Chain A
Amino acid sequence: MIVCVAVVGHQNNPLYLQSFTEADDALKLHHIVHCSLDVIDERVNNPKKTGPTLNETFLGLLYPTENYKVYGYLTNTKVKFILVTTDLDVRDADVRNFFRRFHLAYVDAVSNPFHVPGKKITSRTFADRVSDIVRTFGLGTAV
């Protein structure tokens, strides 16, 4: 199950961070997301280690923390999406699909006239869409 999704701006500032657990581990998740930025930087800076194709937006599994799996996604505009999940076996396709839909949601969110570029995303529509995407995560690759 997905624990947390986050959007991090191109100056590594958190734009959106939503946890889907009851437990109040917000701090922990913040830490995890924050740390995963290091890995993203690493991946991007020496791309030999990156995923199948060079410069792909999908960065794959960033690192397994003690009991989480962290996946990353870096858009062309240097915006990072981070997905933290507790699932043990996650199908790569699912994650890719997730990120694709998430990206669309994000694009729509930043097209919102009330969204200030570089500021936190506060739109409720976005939140709803995200939670929807999260809910349907892994249920086949239906968009």
Chain B
Amino acid sequence: MVDPASSFLGKMLLEEITPVVMVLRTPLVEEACLKNGLTFVQMLQPFCVFNNIDVPVRTVSDQPYRLHKFKLRLFYASDIKQPNVEAAEEHLKEVVTRAAEKDLSDLSSDPPQLDDLLAMNSESLPLWFKIFNKELIRTLSFSEHEAFDHPVACLLVVSSKDELPINKFVDLFNTNQLPSLLNDGVMDPKILKHYLLIHDNQDGSSEKATNVLTEMRSTFGMNDCRLLCINSAKDGSEERIGSLWTPYKTDTSPSQDLGCLLNVNDVSEIKDLMQDLSSKHIIPHMEQKIRVLNQQVSATRKGFRNQIKNLWWRKGKEDTPDAPNGPMYTFSSIESQIRVLGDYAFMLRDYELALSSCRLLSTDYKIDKSWKRYAGVQEMMALTYFMLDQSRKEAENCMENAFSTYLKIGSTGQRNATRCGLWWVEMLKAKEQYKEAAGVYFRISSEEPSLHAAVMLEQASFCYLFSNPPMLRKYGFHLVLAGNRYYMSDQKKHSIRTYRSALSVYKGNSWSFIKDHVHFHVGKWYAFLGIFDVAVKHMLEILACSHQSVMTQELFLKDFLQNVEKMGKTYEVFRLQLPIINMSSLKVVFEDYRTYASTAAANVRESLWQSLEEDMVHSLPMSRSNWLEPEAKSSKKDKDSNVCVVGEAIKMDIEFKNPLQIPISISGVSLICQLFPRSEVAECELTEKDAHAHPYESASGEKNDAEELRKLTSNWELNSGVSSFALSEVVFSMRGGETTVVQLTVTPKVEGVLKIIGVRWKLSDSVVSYYNFDSDHVKKKNIKGRKKSSQSSSKNLKFVVIKSVPKLEGCIRHLPGKIYAGDTRRLVLELKNQSDISVKNMKMKISHPRFVIPGSLEDLNVEFPSCLEKNSNSEHNDVQPSSSKQPKSSLFSFEDAAIQGGTTFFWPLWLRAAVPGRISLYLSLYYEMENLSSEMKYRIFRIHYDLEVLQSLDLSFQISPCPSKLQEFLVRMDVVNRTSSENLQLHQLSSVGHQWEISPLQPNEAICPLQLLKAGQALSCFFKLKNCRKSSMFEGSISFHSLLQGHDVRLGPQGSDKALFDVSGSALADFHHHERLQQGKSIQGQQGTVDFILISQLPKNRADHGLEGQSDLPQLFSHHSCHHSIASTSPVWWLMNGPRTVHHNFTVSFCEIRLGMAIHNSSKEAISIRMSTLDVTSSDGQLSDVAAAAQDPISSENQGGWHNVSLGNDIKVTSDALGTQFGKSSSDVMAPFVWAASSSTRVELEPMSTTEVPLKICVFAPGTYNLSNYTMHWEVKLLGVPLSAGDRTRQLSGRSPGHPYYITVLQSP
């Protein structure tokens, strides 16, 4: 605990509460002094402070003690009055501004860091706070209600040059320019006077002066008069002593040297003048006065009697209306005297006495309700308590009491309250209760005008900083408050200062709201002061404020841009966060030996391409890595870096995200690259080295960022000049929260090593931001699927540029995006070769041969679709071989086609949409360079298309053996038009394979009645299929060629002479082959299958609305359905043959009819067959249950045959269906017949053999009879042959009802 006297407050009191000496002087005195650039008072000031005056004093109770430190305060009489408010305010403002001027210098420096703030202590506080506080207190001096500012003595000064100096002395005091304090009787006019005669040695010798002195002595008394000689210095001769005064001269200019005419003697003379004045006159006088007053006080107030009297007397004065500052007390009033007593005692350090008298007084004032005086006394008590260093609590209570009392009396006391507050704060500080001190500051601030409040708040904030533990958040908060107040009383520099130091608190923590606010305002104010660069720096901090409201965001952005503009030059930022770059989405597309037709193709997975290209690439001698060899020679490390070709652009997709909700405009987006020509690759290595020497990952600190920025900018400047590569520039604008991907390209122009360093963009044309890719690890999604993630991104963005090689570009002409299933058309593959070198032995691989197959060159110039028609020209014959051998491998090589430089090359492709759905076609085209000198021996051109295939027709076939002929079948075709809007015209149905021969049921009339099949319409029509092959052909193998021969049936309207299409012709045949392969997968090897091709067309009159409006309508639809087995589940076919009509005369007898049943065994094994005829009676039941078994086909039959049937080629069911149909109709059989022959016959049949079984029926009445009421039981005879897989699938025995056979018996006339 420090001794109060040595505490700051103590020191302050010791020099602020000291005796005041009133100075009265004649103008000539002033004149004499001003020669030294000093007023009279100023001249004396340095000598009013005595650090060891050592005067013996006695307390009222005669205890002797010695005063050591002492101070006099000199004031001209004219200054002894309350300073008027405005002037005071001005003065204070002056102080503050001066302080601001001082520390403007470091405004441009970095704001203070937190830790060195914490290192601060109360000493390191800016000095001007103390000055300000002192000045603030001074504005209250010479108030009436307290006595320590009342003059203790009066110093009358007359110059020896005045004539009649004695009279001067007299009327100096009598003139009514005495301060109001003396005139209106607040203080005792009888005041200790001291007479001083000033003699200026420059006006001759001092005899005259000495005469005057003696005269004075005679008139005013011996020892109250004195002579002071000044200006005795011969100018320039003595050493300077001006330094004495400098601390006291605040305002004037230092130009004129102070006290130039004063020499050592003068100074010493002044010194003992003051010494005597204080020690011989003032102190004794005060001591004396204290004694007197004390006696009076004790006479009137001490002792019980006096107390009572006093109380009673005060009650008597009740009626006096209490003015705001209570009743008026003249100097003669006992209260004033006590007050004087107290203050004098305080000034002479007799604190006990001071305290006791203040106590006494406070009660009186309290009773009198003269609150101001009461407060003053309380204040005094507090100070004395403090100086006594007794109970601190008391001190604080008194101070608080005073404080609140002053506040209570309103505006007049408000400033006094502030003063109390300041005292109070100092007390607390002395006790290191900084937190409480801060609180008091805060209370003061709420009372004061904004400027003072600001200063108070700032001091409060420091208190929080110094409190233990430091309360940083409050520190920050109060700084912000202070800054705000400073701003209101426009002290911008101060507000900046405070906000800046507040920043250190909010730095890095997540209270973004506050941080933004602070940064924003600091920025604004800097801008106001015209320090734009710093302003912009602060604004930058808050640009990416996605958490703020839209309005705020706009505000921030607007101000930021304004400042940047004001700054004049374009501002360059490292990694501006607006917009944000999404590094993870960074993507580089470049073409080495792989070239792409479209970005779509580029985005396809590499593995997919590779799987497609495998045999294509490996089919040639050189291995994939060959093209790299020259590089390998030149430098090792190029091995792992990508290769690109001169003149071919490297594309980079960068994703920008706008964090704000407001639109921003970005311009001039382009890459920053470095290209080291082949000659200087070594140098490039060097840069690589040092790049790795200090990796960018550590580019976090300010320094590194600046460094980065410098590098980037320099590179950029290089870029703009350089001609070795070309950059693309992108301009775009983003809506709020939008994310856009932009593609930037760089096109190298010379060989060497190219590095993509970063990207640069302009935010709304004013701010340039640089972003370097190196510094964080780019997880580049590498298109070419090479495992590169292990390498550093800098490698990923490094390219070896090799000299230009030819590059094919091209597309597939008029390939529709949407297409109906079955649509078959001819496309053209178009390849351009820009370079002047020609490319040769090209190969092509197609991912879906079922959809696209390469045609032959001839197809180009024949017109479509007629080229497919059957016109017996030799053309399709020589296509056969090509088409026949092609489908073996889908690798197609253009025989010896070479594309000369600069030419364009066409090749036909056949497209057929095999199945509905979405498919993506991949074409990959391999070619080699003409000149093998180039580093790249071959390249691959990749084409990718997405195709959407819509449903068109779906058709199903159903084959059942013909009941009337062996080896003949009924084919039922069900077609449904599933298109949304198209009407289709069925054109032809062809069966593939020479052994099959399809024909309409009735050769002469058209099969399908209607012109065209409307959308959604279904149709089923019947054909006859004949197996025109000897049974021995089964195991015979036939050539593909002959297999392709087909038979066609023209569908559509009668007599349409349109040419049929040749299904065995080039394209269709190939497609059919692929179809077979495809559909064959589902069906396991079964012998005896047949394929159908249905060809349909759009009606001619329909050119108006295309599929997607484009000119080329689908002209030809070919639908292939394959592998329709004709092999029935029952290996036996039988046929009843006999007469159809019989004439018989029933009057004679019943009629016997002989019939024969031909049975054929179509299976490979011997079969035993039992045919059992049934009686009519039992036949009913048999029929009925079959009918039940075959319910649904009938019911669906009733709907006029519009339905589709499952492709299941199960003869049994259908035969049942047939049987039942006739069974139903057999209900109109009138009279029964009986089987005349044995009711059951058994035959053994060798494989592939036919036998004839005789039958006989007896008919008793004429009519039509259905001889279907018999059943065939058959059983495969296995001669110890184990079942083969194929066998297991078919059943080994079965029973089938008889086929209907109608016989009509007529009564013969």
Contact = CB atoms under 8 A, between A and B. Distances in A.
A–B contact (CB under 8 angstroms): yes
A34 B469 contact: no
B392 interface: no
A71 B1025 CA distance: 96
A18 B484 CA distance: 25
Interface string B5-36: 00000000000000000000000000000000
Contacts of A26: 513
A41 B446 CA distance: 26
B1104 to A, nearest CB: 55
Contact of B510 (A14, A41, A45): A14
B510 A31 contact: no
Interface string B442-484: 0000100000000000000000100001011110110010000
A53 B476 CA distance: 31
A118 to B, nearest CB: 10
B446 A45 contact: no
Interface magnitude class on chain B = 10 to 19
B479 to A, nearest CB: 11
B517 A37 contact: no
Interface string A18-32: 000000001100110
A1 interface: no
Contacts of A41: 469, 471
A26 B477 CA distance: 14
Instruction: Report whether over half of chain A's contact residues are helix, strand or loop; otherwise say mixed.
Output: helix
Contacts of B510: 13-14
Nearest to A12: B509
B511 interface: yes
A141 B517 CA distance: 39
B857 interface: no
B1028 interface: no
A84 to B, nearest CB: 14
Contact of B511 (A14, A38, A45): A14
Give the one of B469, B511, B514, B517 with max A CB within 10 A.
B511
Contacts of A30: 511, 513-514
Nearest to B472: A38
B509 A38 contact: no
A137 B864 CA distance: 85
A37 B509 CA distance: 13
B477 A35 contact: yes
Interface string B498-524: 000000000001110110010000000
Nearest to B435: A42
A12 B473 CA distance: 11
B514 A66 contact: no
Given A13-B510, A27-B517, A34 B477 contact: yes
Contacts of A66: 446
Contacts of A31: 477, 480, 514
A35 B473 contact: yes
B477 A27 contact: no
A13 B509 contact: yes
B642 to A, nearest CB: 38
Nearest to B510: A13
Interface in A66-102: 66
Contacts of B472: 38
Contacts of A42: 469, 471
Instruction: Report whether over half of chain B's contact residues are helix, strand or loop; otherwise say mixed.
Output: helix
A26 B473 CA distance: 17
Given A13-B510, A27-B517, A34 B446 contact: no
A132 to B, nearest CB: 25
A30 B464 CA distance: 19
A37 to B, nearest CB: 6
Interface magnitude class on chain A = 10 to 19
Nearest to B516: A27
A27 B549 CA distance: 12
A34 B473 contact: yes
A139 to B, nearest CB: 31
A41 B471 CA distance: 9
A26 B509 CA distance: 17
Given A27-B517, A66-B446, A34 B511 contact: yes
Nearest to A36: B473
Contacts of A35: 473-474, 477
A134 to B, nearest CB: 20
B489 to A, nearest CB: 20
Interface string A29-55: 011001101100110010000000000
Nearest to A46: B469
A38 B473 contact: yes
Contacts of B474: 35, 38
Contact of B469 (A13, A14, A45): A45
Contacts of A37: 473
Nearest to B548: A26
A38 B480 contact: no
A13 B446 CA distance: 30
Nearest to A30: B513
Contact of B471 (A12, A13, A27, A38): A38
B542 to A, nearest CB: 13
A99 B511 CA distance: 23
Contacts of B476: 34
Interface in B42-96: none
B1294 to A, nearest CB: 64
B143 to A, nearest CB: 30
Nearest to B514: A30
Nearest to B469: A45
A41 B480 CA distance: 21
Give the one of A35, A45, A66 with max B CB within 10 A.
A35
A117 to B, nearest CB: 14
Contacts of B509: 12-13
Interface in A93-125: none
A77 B631 CA distance: 62
Give the one of A12, A30, A38, A45 with max B CB within 10 A.
A38
Contacts of B480: 31
B1231 to A, nearest CB: 85
Nearest to A17: B513
Contacts of A14: 510-511
Contacts of B469: 41-42, 45
Given A12-B509, A13-B509, A34 B471 contact: no
A35 B481 CA distance: 12
Give the one of A30, A34, A45 with max B CB within 10 A.
A34
B473 A27 contact: no
Contacts of B511: 13-14, 30, 34
A45 B435 CA distance: 15
A66 B445 CA distance: 12
B1285 to A, nearest CB: 55
Contacts of B513: 26-27, 30
A71 to B, nearest CB: 17
Nearest to B464: A38
A55 B469 CA distance: 20
Interface string B423-449: 000000000000000000000001000
A27 B446 CA distance: 20
Contacts of A45: 469
Contacts of A13: 509-511
Given A13-B511, A37-B473, A41-B471, 18 more contacts: A14-B510, A26-B513, A27-B513, A27-B517, A30-B513, A30-B514, A31-B477, A31-B480, A34-B473, A34-B477, A34-B514, A35-B473, A35-B474, A38-B471, A38-B472, A41-B469, A42-B471, A45-B469
Interface of A: 12-14, 26-27, 30-31, 34-35, 37-38, 41-42, 45, 66
17 contacts: A13-B510, A13-B511, A27-B513, A27-B514, A30-B513, A30-B514, A31-B477, A31-B480, A34-B473, A34-B477, A34-B514, A35-B474, A38-B472, A38-B474, A41-B469, A41-B471, A42-B471
A-B interface, 8 closest residue pairs, ranked by CB to CB distance from nearest? A38-B471, A13-B510, A30-B513, A38-B473, A35-B477, A35-B473, A38-B474, A35-B474
Interface of B: 446, 464, 469, 471-474, 476-477, 480, 509-511, 513-514, 517
